[in-house]
Structure 1
Amino acid sequence: MLVAFLLTLLAGGATSIGAALGVLGRGTNPKLLAGGLGLSAGVMLYVSFMELMPQGARVLSGGDVVTASGGAYAALAFFVGIALIAVLDRLVPEAVSPHEFSGRMSGSHGHSELRAPDEQAADRALRARLLRTGTVTAIALALHNVPEGFATFVAALQAPEVAIPVVAAIALHNIPEGLAVAVPVRRATGSRTKAFWLASMTGMAEPVGAVIGYLLLAPLLTGEAMGAILAAVAGVMVFVSLDELLPAAEETGEHHTVIYSLIAGMAVMALTLIVV
Structure 2
Amino acid sequence: MLVAFLATLVAGAATSIGAALGVMGRGTSPRLLAGGLGLSAGVMLYISFVELLPEGAQVLSGGGPADPRGTALAVLSFFVGITVIAVIDRLVPTAVSPHEFTGRMTGSGGHDEVRAPEERAADLALRARLLRTGTITAIALALHNVPEGFATFVAALQAPEIAIPVVAAIALHNIPEGLAVAVPIRRATGSRTKAFWLATMTGLAEPVGAVIGFLLLAPLLSGDAMGAILAAVAGVMVFVSLDELLPAAEETGEHHTVIYSLIAGMAVMALTLLVL
Indicate the residue corresponding to 1:155 in structure 2.
148
1:58 alignment partner, SS class: helix
Indicate the residue corresponding to 2:217 in structure 1.
218
Shift in CA distance, 143/263, structure 1 to aligned 2, threshold 3 Å: closer
Indicate the residue corresponding to 1:263 in structure 2.
263
CA distance in 1, matches of 2:61, 2:244: 32
Per the TM alignment, residue 241 of structure 1 is displaced from its structure 2 partner at its CA by 1.4
Deviations 1:61-111 (A, max 9, x none): 0032211111111111112222222223222211249xxx9xx96237347
CA distance in 2, matches of 1:201, 1:78: 30
Amino acid at match of 2:88: L
Indicate the residue corresponding to 1:206 in structure 2.
202
Indicate the residue corresponding to 1:170 in structure 2.
177
CA contact (8 A) 1:12 1:171 kept: yes
Indicate the residue corresponding to 2:138 in structure 1.
145
CA contact (8 A) 2:21 2:179 kept: no
In structure 1, stretches of 5+ residues that fail to align are: 114-125, 184-194
**Mean CA deviation greater in 84-93 or 44-53:** 84-93
Amino acid at match of 2:175: A
CA distance in 2, matches of 1:239, 1:245: 9
The alignment covers a number of residue pairs equal to 238
1:107 alignment partner, SS class: coil
In structure 2, stretches of 5+ residues that fail to align are: 113-119, 153-165
Alignment RMSD (CA, Å):
3.9
Indicate the residue corresponding to 1:59 in structure 2.
59
Per the TM alignment, residue 49 of structure 1 is displaced from its structure 2 partner at its CA by 0.7
CA contact (8 A) 1:57 1:231 kept: yes
1:94 alignment partner, SS class: coil
CA distance in 2, matches of 1:273, 1:235: 19
Indicate the residue corresponding to 1:48 in structure 2.
48
CA contact (8 A) 1:43 1:269 kept: yes
CA distance in 1, matches of 2:132, 2:255: 31
Per the TM alignment, residue 51 of structure 1 is displaced from its structure 2 partner at its CA by 1.5
Q: Scaled by the length of structure 1, what TM-score is found? A: 0.68
CA contact (8 A) 1:17 1:178 kept: no
Q: Equivalences for 1:95-114 in 2 at 5 Å?
A: 95-96=95-96, 106-107=105-106, 109-110=108-109
2:14 alignment partner, SS class: helix
Indicate the residue corresponding to 2:12 in structure 1.
8
CA distance in 1, matches of 2:246, 2:133: 20
Shift in CA distance, 181/275, structure 1 to aligned 2, threshold 3 Å: closer
Shift in CA distance, 255/226, structure 1 to aligned 2, threshold 3 Å: same
Amino acid at match of 1:151: H
Deviations 1:166-217 (A, max 9, x none): 413321211223314542xxxxxxxxxxx44444443354256553796387
CA contact (8 A) 1:41 1:246 kept: yes
Q: Equivalences for 1:208-247 in 2 at 5 Å?
A: 211=208, 215=212, 218-219=217-218, 220-247=220-247
